Structure 1
Amino acid sequence: MPSPTLSLILGDQLNSNHPWFNSTDKNTTYAIYETWSEATYTRHHIQKVCAFFLAMRTFADELRAAGHNVIYRTLDESRELQLESIADNLLYDANELSAGTIRYQLPDEYRLDEELKSLSENFEGVIEATDTHHFLSGRNDVADLFAGKKTYLMETFYRSMRKRHNVMMEANGEDPLTGQWNYDHDNRGSLPKSITFPEASTFPKDVSSIVKMLERNGINTMGRIKKNVLSYPTSRSECLEALTDFVQNRLPLFGTYQDAMTVRHPLLYHANLSFAMNVKMISPREVIDAAVSEWQRRPEEIEINQVEGFVRQILGWREYMRGVYWAKMPQFALTNDLDHQAELPSWYWTGDTKMNCLGHAVNQSLDLAYAHHIQRLMVTGNFALILGVHPDEVDAWYLGVYIDAIEWVEITNTRGMSQRADGGLVATKPYCSSANYVNKMSDYCKGCHYKYKEKTGDKACPFNSLYWDFLDRHRDKFANNFRMAFMYKTWDKKSGEDKAAILERAAWVKAHADEL
């Protein structure tokens, strides 16, 4: 009889459709671990840790029910055995089982990839790595597509993916349905006053035992969890229910209002399926297919811009971000092209600020471990950018606070798109704005302590002076950028007195950021 095989399943590899599980093998044992290293490599949101651990436990139970051999070690058990990392646990069990083979699915984080590559230093048997069978592109596809290029244009990648996977394409496989690839210009609507928001499915579960375990082990978390109840889907069946709920009830207006922000509802028309996909309980292909099928079933109710905008986020942006990550890591994590050095204001951890937009976006993030992409990009990210915060600080906050934040998707969005630390690889212009954009796309500015139209004075919105200060201090970087030319012309038309007053206000804001 061959020696036993030990097969590792990471916390973001909960894919029940993986070929590993097509049949049962009594000679194979699957291993899933809660570890100190994964719970502490950044300061995670309390709901994020609870969701990962609960989803992992549920997946282990489902594997056992299907007849598979499973080792599941809780954080308590790992620490009792003094096994702090994934590799520590894996090598311990390989020895206990006298395993001749260790198998693992390729990790999506560089640090874990390096950790598992080093297993051979302490294991004399066979080590096999296989694909996760989740993504629609390979690790190196983006790097190969843009070889020799200084910038990686997502639209180019997106069109190639539409063709490769025959998504919303004409019969010839070359042209997009309706003859148009991208409906982004139709997806920037601001919310009318009378609009209503459908309530999304929730899946409340008491996670008090996990919370107590984290406290018992001294895990330092951030954020809040009301009454120790977690409402995210943590099983495949729940994820499928959440997907059905989205395509039926929110997809019809998703595209039009995907950039809108409001204090009236946290989710608006967004899917909130990123955690489900990022831990692989559902696949991007089945999410895309569900959206396209619903559009085809109800063409009179769902316009093409709604579904195309959604497909672009998954087939385009999500896959593209992963490709950028594997093309540029580990150097990408060290980039700071704008040489920003400021600290993140303390209220990013409390929500205690007089700025309505940031107070709402930060508190929602702390309460729900969720904010949609424009809140992340144009409120919390925009402010950190124009304030000049060091990208390390921004990375740490985003990686910790959001339930869907895994480094491959977090750092490329944050350090690349949001903070422009990558020198312009991901974005052709910095995503910065004054209060005018926030007011246009939200109801945040109504009733705010600060005045969104004012640039100077005690009540002037901090976004305004910081925006012009950002452009002024980085003129050498952006003055020749054709997408920034209009703003520099506007700045240059201001009088010397006006410029000095704006920069003076910006200097005060930067010196008193914790007090805003």
Structure 2
Amino acid sequence: MTAAPVLVPILGDQLSPGLSSLADRSPADTVVLMMEVAEETGYVRHHQAKLVLVLSAMRHFAAELRAAGWTVDYVALDDPGNSGSFTGEVARAVARHGARGVQVTEPGEWRVREAIESWRDSLGVRVRILPDTRFLCPLPDFFAWAAGRRELRMEYFYRDMRRRTGLLMEGDKPVGGRWNFDVENRGAAPADLVPPAPPAFAPDAITREVQALVAARFAGHFGTAERFAWPVTAAAAERALDHFLTERLPLFGRYQDAMLAGQDTMYHALLAPALNLGLLDPLAVCRRAEAEWRAGRVPIEAAEGFIRQIIGWREYIRGMYWLEMPGLAAANHLEATRPLPEFWWTGETPMRCLAECVRTTRDNAYAHHIQRLMVLGNFALLAGLRPQEVADWFLAVYADAYEWVELPNVAGMALHADGGRLASKPYAASGAYIDRMSDYCGSCHYKVKQKTGPEACPFNALYWHFLARNEAKLAGNARLFQPYATWRRMGPDKQADYLASAEAFLATLKPARPGWARAAG
């Protein structure tokens, strides 16, 4: 390489050979920069398995780029002189290589975008920021879709994405005459159901090296990486996809909302970490799922439900993040101020549903979407937990969590902190929902059928406490008309009983110690 090169920084969730910043470059005059920096490993105290996943995937991707002929400047976390930040490492690399310019794909997170924008003034070379073409809906298209709409509902965006991609379409009509088969996807699982074991990917030498680094440097972080089994290469992620399509997708739809104690993954895809790292192409994944339906190997409700999660929900959430930031990070429409309870970190609670969800999160850096939304998120909503603390927790503990996907789901979908911009109503539910969709309640310390008192399921009284304290802001919501009508018919004595039971339970919650989520790594 004789001419001054262009420096192409690749971030830890941009592990795709077709990345836009590489698409018009040649190995002959390009240096790829990959950086492990303390700023990213420690801005929240990430689950140890999540750190292993990202760092190992980065190191594997760097090796693949080198094998393809690219010059890769890789800065490891423990390298001498590591500045600890993206900006510091890019500046050092520009000087080290005499780079004539920097070309980078836009990042997924607001704070990183702000840092990259500052490079234009600080680096002294041209900085070119390119769109992330791995997403199916460019951000300008999403903003145009959202402009002027009174309600930004995912369902209507999803229909546009079906038309855009042609997935599950017959001409301009949806297959089966319906856009959405969600009503078929709410089955409760029988207690003796035994889903197939998820694929496990044994750590290789690179991953073992990262495990040792994480164990030494991040021993105080939540969880463990001893059971690490996530795919860290595109080839392994493709094998995980193969397994899902053949072994899990046929029953994915029917049981996607169900929960069984000890069955941590049910029939879920477990592909979000690979998708969010860039190891899988979302459109290709959806086309393969569609092909399984067209071949008659999976029912339409399974294929449609899975595809909706990717081209509908995933794309919509990303668009909403960029539409609502930076204000979304501080949103607190319901003025919730209760600190995060300690048991969200320890799992030590007699509420079996919550204990199970924290356990699988601690063990696997994973819980499926109903565990996250209707157990953990539902509790946070009903108990009035401060949205920023809840968002920090979700960002820290899940292997697939990046702010662009986690924050709208937590602040908008789970906690209604955005005032209903994302969800048409708060996703609040009593213990009856959890009892219907799981086997958690049968051996719980609390009695789900009991409404008030020290032995009653706390969700029951918390549900009415939530509605009562937020009546001024929520009573006008058409989807909450019936619950509020029921509340008003109860009479003062019954209302007081519910409120007293809820207050008695809330008084038992011990706050988590400071620094669990946000502290330097």
TM-score (norm 1): 0.95
1:17 equivalent to 2:15? Answer no
Partners in 2 of 1:59 and 1:167 — Cα distance? 30
1:246 corresponds to: 244
* Contact map agreement 2:19 2:105 (CA 8 A) in 1: no
1:317 corresponds to: 313
1:32 corresponds to: 34
* Contact map agreement 1:140 1:327 (CA 8 A) in 2: no
Partners in 2 of 1:446 and 1:478 — Cα distance? 32
Partners in 2 of 1:241 and 1:420 — Cα distance? 37
1:460 equivalent to 2:456? Answer yes
2:152 corresponds to: 152
**Which string of whole-angstrom CA distances, capped at 9 and with x for unpartnered residues, describes residues 148-204 of structure 1?**
334311111000010011111112xx2111211011111111012343311121102
1:139 equivalent to 2:139? Answer yes
Partners in 2 of 1:359 and 1:392 — Cα distance? 22
2:56 corresponds to: 54
Amino acid at match of 1:146: A
Partners in 2 of 1:219 and 1:229 — Cα distance? 15
* Contact map agreement 1:150 1:425 (CA 8 A) in 2: no
Amino acid at match of 1:86: F
Amino acid at match of 2:60: T
**Which string of whole-angstrom CA distances, capped at 9 and with x for unpartnered residues, describes residues 195-215 of structure 1?**
331112110216453344245
Partners in 1 of 2:82 and 2:244 — Cα distance? 43
* Contact map agreement 1:455 1:465 (CA 8 A) in 2: yes
**Which string of whole-angstrom CA distances, capped at 9 and with x for unpartnered residues, describes residues 238-267 of structure 1?**
000000100111110111111111114111
2:258 corresponds to: 260
1:480 corresponds to: 476
Partners in 1 of 2:64 and 2:464 — Cα distance? 55
Partners in 1 of 2:507 and 2:76 — Cα distance? 45
Relative contact order higher in (CA < 8 Å, ≥ 6 apart): 2
Amino acid at match of 1:26: A
1:291 corresponds to: 289
Give 1:115 shift.
Answer: 0.4
The 10-residue stretch of structure 1 (480-489 or 215-224) with the greater mean CA deviation from structure 2: 215-224
1:414-493 alignment, distance < 5 Å? 414-493=410-489
Gap runs ≥5 in structure 1: none
Amino acid at match of 1:42: V
Give 1:237 shift.
Answer: 0.2
1:377 equivalent to 2:366? Answer no
1:104-143 alignment, distance < 5 Å? 104-143=104-143
Partners in 2 of 1:209 and 1:294 — Cα distance? 38
* Contact map agreement 2:275 2:281 (CA 8 A) in 1: yes
Give 1:82 shift.
Answer: 4.4
Partners in 2 of 1:218 and 1:393 — Cα distance? 21
TM-score (norm 2): 0.95
1:25-424 alignment, distance < 5 Å? 25-77=27-79, 80-171=80-171, 174-205=172-203, 207-214=207-214, 216-217=216-217, 220-225=220-225, 228-297=226-295, 299=296, 301-424=297-420
Give 1:219 shift.
Answer: 7.3
Give 1:344 shift.
Answer: 0.9
Give 1:122 shift.
Answer: 1.8
Moved beyond 6 Å, runs of 4+: none
* Contact map agreement 1:251 1:306 (CA 8 A) in 2: yes
* Contact map agreement 1:186 1:255 (CA 8 A) in 2: yes
- SS of structure 1 residue aligned to 2:170: coil
The 10-residue stretch of structure 1 (134-143 or 91-100) with the greater mean CA deviation from structure 2: 134-143
- SS of structure 2 residue aligned to 1:349: helix
Give 1:41 shift.
Answer: 1.0
- SS of structure 2 residue aligned to 1:128: strand
Give 1:499 shift.
Answer: 1.1
* Contact map agreement 2:82 2:89 (CA 8 A) in 1: no
Q: 1:97 to 1:266 in 2, by over 3 A?
A: same
**Which string of whole-angstrom CA distances, capped at 9 and with x for unpartnered residues, describes residues 110-157 of structure 1?**
111110110122212221122232100012333221213343111110
Give 1:31 shift.
Answer: 0.7
Q: Please give the root-mean-square deviation of Cα atoms over the aligned residues, in Å.
A: 1.7
* Contact map agreement 2:317 2:408 (CA 8 A) in 1: yes
1:502 corresponds to: 498
Partners in 2 of 1:216 and 1:189 — Cα distance? 44
Give 1:231 shift.
Answer: 0.1
Give 1:24 shift.
Answer: 4.5
* Contact map agreement 1:106 1:129 (CA 8 A) in 2: yes
- Equivalenced residues, count: 508
Partners in 2 of 1:65 and 1:335 — Cα distance? 46
Partners in 1 of 2:390 and 2:211 — Cα distance? 26
Give 1:490 shift.
Answer: 1.6
* Contact map agreement 1:9 1:32 (CA 8 A) in 2: yes
Partners in 2 of 1:214 and 1:190 — Cα distance? 39
Partners in 2 of 1:193 and 1:167 — Cα distance? 35
Gap runs ≥5 in structure 2: 512-521
Amino acid at match of 1:155: E
- SS of structure 2 residue aligned to 1:281: coil
* Contact map agreement 1:205 1:229 (CA 8 A) in 2: no
* Contact map agreement 1:188 1:259 (CA 8 A) in 2: yes
Partners in 1 of 2:213 and 2:245 — Cα distance? 37
- SS of structure 2 residue aligned to 1:428: coil
**Which string of whole-angstrom CA distances, capped at 9 and with x for unpartnered residues, describes residues 65-106 of structure 1?**
1111001111001xx314110110011011011110111111
- SS of structure 2 residue aligned to 1:140: helix
Amino acid at match of 2:162: R
Partners in 2 of 1:332 and 1:495 — Cα distance? 38
The 10-residue stretch of structure 1 (429-438 or 129-138) with the greater mean CA deviation from structure 2: 129-138
Give 1:23 shift.
Answer: 7.3
Give 1:17 shift.
Answer: 2.8
